[in-house]
Amino acid sequence: MGPLAGYRIVEMAGIGPAPFAAMLLADMGAEVIRVDRREAADLGLPGRDVKFDVLHRGRRTIAVDVKAEAGREVVKRLAAKADAIVEGFRPGVMERLGLGPEVLRALNPRLVFGRMTGFGQDGPLADAAGHDIDYIALAGVLHAIGRKGEAPVPPLNLVGDFGGGGMFLAFGVVCALLEAQRSGKGQVVDAAMVDGSATLMALMFGLYAQGSWKDERGVNVLDTGAPWYDTYRTKDGRWLAVGAIEKRFYEAFVQRLGLNMSELPRQHDRSGWPELRRRFAETVAGKTRDEWEGIFEGSDACVAPVLSLGEVARHPHNAARCTLVERDGVLQPAPAPRFSRTVPEMGAAPRPAGADTEAVLADFGFSQAEIGGLRDAGVVGIA
């Protein structure tokens, strides 16, 4: 099921963007085997239920002590029969374990080696620690997000970890898999969150070079600078999102607000933006969010209610498309994007570390005697 059905991918367990990339690949039908740490199978953290680890859905898990020579040999045998491996360690970690690209690709020349880091495999900061907020700061993203005269606002960890990180890793792995079909050779995918985050800013860099984007927060069309691209508080304390950029959309927005275009400053007259913002804010504050949603329904005014996490699944459009689904009482996004023929289906629920150790080893050609020996030696763990 899914367009990646038939591909086999080994994921070295980590946190954040690499697991997200593995989830995307699994959602698209790839068989993803998650290699967890041996000790993770024995943690037994009280009160922790793996069903909430949404990023871990859709794959089986094997627990291996990769610091042991026998454990490294297990990973090598997995990689020898895989199409790709993904990892999110700092540069050099896999090499120090004896599991770097040269070693694994010597065993399997077609292997795609996907690497996820914050700063990339080389450069002055390659070995530095960091988090999403650091990577998007270096890419220019963080500087651009926020209101005029206020501090930069981190957009959760969506841009660095997931948009600029995990999605670019998954995209890179799929690109390399496609190329390997032609060349018969794998390669290393160096996915860096700084690089990906900067790429997401392509439009803004172009506008900045043109002189159409000011290097200041909150004064541009898409960063709350324009009064017709912002959020407004409603009578009941909720919010309305307005994105009426184009002329006809803007006119529809003003008309549904009940305002007269001739009595307002022109849309693109920046000197009139403060007055426009005041009039819009006062008008929107006069009705509840649901009332405005009814008023704007069926229009091309580009207005939407700002939904809370608890409201998303109940919205009629999202409900009709099953944008979110429930698995074991956990509401989560359905696989995306959608395909007309090779329809993806959400895979198995997240599994405890090591839950599938014996089954996976057997599928990869390990004998029962070998599995028993590895288990008894503490090289592999069984949840």
| Residues marked as catalytic | 131, 161
Tokens of 25: 């690949």
CB 193 within 8 Å of CB 117: yes
Do residues 43 and 116 make contact, with C-beta atoms less than 8 angstroms apart?
Answer: no
Secondary structure of 8-61 in HEC code, one letter for each residue: EEEEECCCCHHHHHHHHHHHCCCEEEEEEEHHHHHCCCCCCCHHHCHHHCCCEE
| Number of other residues whose CB lies within 10 A of the CB of residue 310 | 8
Say how far residue 346 (Cα) sits from the centre of its chain.
16
For 16-45, letters b (16+ CB in 10 Å) and e give bbbbbbbbbbbbbbbbbbbbbbbebbeeee
> Whose structure tokens read 């000011």?
214
- Specify the pairing of strand 324-327 against strand 330-333: antiparallel
Pairwise CA distance, residues 305 & 298, whole Å: 14
Q: Are 218 and 267 in contact (CB under 8 A)?
A: no
Nearest C-alpha neighbor of 307 from the set 222, 235, 228, 238: 238
